[in-house]
Structure 1
Amino acid sequence: MRKSGQLVDWNDDRGFGFIRDAEGERYFVHIKSISRIATRPLIGDQLDFDAGVDAQGRPRAINARIRGANPAPTRAVRSRGLPPVANEQRFDPRPWLAVGLLVLLIYDLALGLAPLWLGAGYLGIGVLSFGLYATDKHYARTNQWRISETMLHSIDLGFGIIGGLLAQSRFRHKTAKPGFALFTWCLAGLHALWLGGIAIGRIAPDDLANLLTLFG
C-alpha cells in the first residue's frame, strides 16, 4: 500500500533512517530503497513509499521517493547516492588511536610510573563512555531525548577517551560531525601528551590530583 510520511531520523554515515507516517507508524528506510536523487536525504523530507516489512516482520519502506527532489544522473548516484558501503570500508583511525593510548597506559602501569587508580579510572570511565555513546546512538534511532555532546566530551576528557573512541568507531556515531570529531581529536591528543609525559618522566600522576584540588 502506498503511503506518505516524514523522515524523522537519518544516519547519513550508514545510509538508513526512519519515516513516520500520518498515523505515527515508523518505517525503516534504507538509501537503496529511495529513488535516485541529486542530494542526500535530510530529516524533515516528505516521502511517498510502499509499506512493507523486513524479515522480522518490522515495518519497512520500499520504493520511496522524496517529494520535490531532483533525480540524479547515474554517474552522480554512483559517487554520491550510495556511500554507506564506501563509508564502512574507509579507514577509521579511532580504534588505532584507542589502542595507542591503551599501550601507553599499560606501559606506564607496568613500569610503575603510574598508580593503579589511574588505570582503574581509564577502565571504569572508558566503559561508561562506551555505554553512553551506545545509549545515545539508540536514542538517535528511536527519536528519544539525546545525551548532550558536552556530556560526552566531558566523560572523554575525564579518562573516558579510550572507550569513547572505540564506541564512535563501533557505532559510527558522531563521526560525520566535523566539529565533534575535531574536539575528539584534541581530547585524544591531550591524553596522549598526558600518558606520554608520564612515560618519559616529564609528568607525575600526582600533578593531576594537585590540579583537581584547585577546583575542589
Structure 2
Amino acid sequence: MAGASMRFAGRITDWNGERGFGFVVPHGGGERAFVHVSEFQRGSRPPMVGDLISYETRKDAKGRLNAKAIRFAGQKIEAPGKHQRIPRLGTALAFFLLLAIFTLFGKVPGTVSLAYLAASLVSYVLYCLDKAAAERAYRRIPESTLHLVDFLFGWPGGLIAQQQCRHKIAKDSFQRVFWLTVFLNLAGAYGLVASGIAQRLSSAFPGV
C-alpha cells in the first residue's frame, strides 16, 4: 500500500489577493512553490503574506512546482464539502442521455440538443483554460463569461470540467450562481420547447 504524500511547511512570501495566487518558500530553504486559493480547504480564511502553511507538492507539465492540499498551520482536515460530493460527471452524462432519448422520440427538437452539445464543449474548454491560467498566473477568464456560457446551454460541459479540472468547486459564491444558471436554462429550454418556438427553429433548419 502506498504511503501518505510528504507534506512540507513554509511561509507565504507573495500573495495577490485579487487574482488568488502567490508563492510559498519551505522552512530551511528550497524551491518555492506556486500557491492557488483553490488548493486551500473549503471555508478557509483568505491567505496573507507571512501565513504559515503545510502543503504537498506536485510539478505541472512544464516542471513548475505547485503547492497542493494546503492547510494553515494547526488547521484540521475537514471532510469534503457538499459541493465536492455532487456527482458532476454522472449528472451531466445522465442529462445528455435523457436529452438523446427525448430527441430520438421527437419530444425535443434537434436544434436544442445541438445547442447543448456545442455550448457544453465551449464551456468545458473555457473552464479548462481558466484553470490553466490560474495555475500559471496568466490572465483569467471572467466568471461572468463562464456563467453566461453555462446559462446559454453550456452548463453540462461546465459540470464535467468542474469535476475533471477540480475548478470552481470550492467557491460557494460561484456555485450559487452556477446552479441558478442551470435552473434558469432548464426553465428557458422548457419554455422554448413547450411554446413550439424550438420546433419552429428546427423547421427553419431541416437538416438538423
TM-score by length of 1: 0.60
Match of 1:27 in 2: 33
Opposite residue 194 of structure 2, the aligned amino acid is R
Q: How far apart are the structure 2 equivalents of 1:60 and 1:182?
A: 28
Q: How far apart are the structure 2 equivalents of 1:117 and 1:65?
A: 47
The verdict on how the C-alpha distance between 1:151 and 1:18 changes in structure 2, with shifts beyond 3 A counting, is same
The verdict on how the C-alpha distance between 1:18 and 1:109 changes in structure 2, with shifts beyond 3 A counting, is same
Shift of residue 206, structure 1, vs aligned partner: 2.5
Q: How far apart are the structure 1 equivalents of 2:179 and 2:83?
A: 21
Equivalent residue runs for 1:1-216 within 5 Å: 5-8=13-16, 18-19=22-23, 27-28=33-34, 40=44, 42-46=46-50, 58-59=64-65, 72=74, 77=75, 81-83=76-78, 86=80, 90-194=84-188, 202-206=194-198
Q: Which of 154-163 and 105-114 deviates more?
A: 105-114
Shift of residue 86, structure 1, vs aligned partner: 3.6
Opposite residue 168 of structure 1, the aligned amino acid is Q
Match of 2:6 in 1: none
Deviations 1:120-146 (A, max 9, x none): 221111011001001111111111211
Q: How far apart are the structure 2 equivalents of 1:89 and 1:180?
A: 11
TM-score by length of 2: 0.62
Name structure 2 gaps, 5 residues minimum. 1-9, 26-30, 37-42, 202-208
Q: How far apart are the structure 1 equivalents of 2:188 and 2:22?
A: 42
Deviations 1:148-167 (A, max 9, x none): 11110111111111101111
1:129–1:155 contact (8 Å) kept in structure 2: yes
User: What SS is found at the alignment partner of 1:46?
Assistant: coil
The structure number with the bigger radius of gyration is: 1
Opposite residue 14 of structure 2, the aligned amino acid is Q
User: What SS is found at the alignment partner of 2:23?
Assistant: strand
Q: How far apart are the structure 1 equivalents of 2:12 and 2:88?
A: 39
Opposite residue 82 of structure 1, the aligned amino acid is I
1:115–1:205 contact (8 Å) kept in structure 2: no
2:124–2:157 contact (8 Å) kept in structure 1: yes
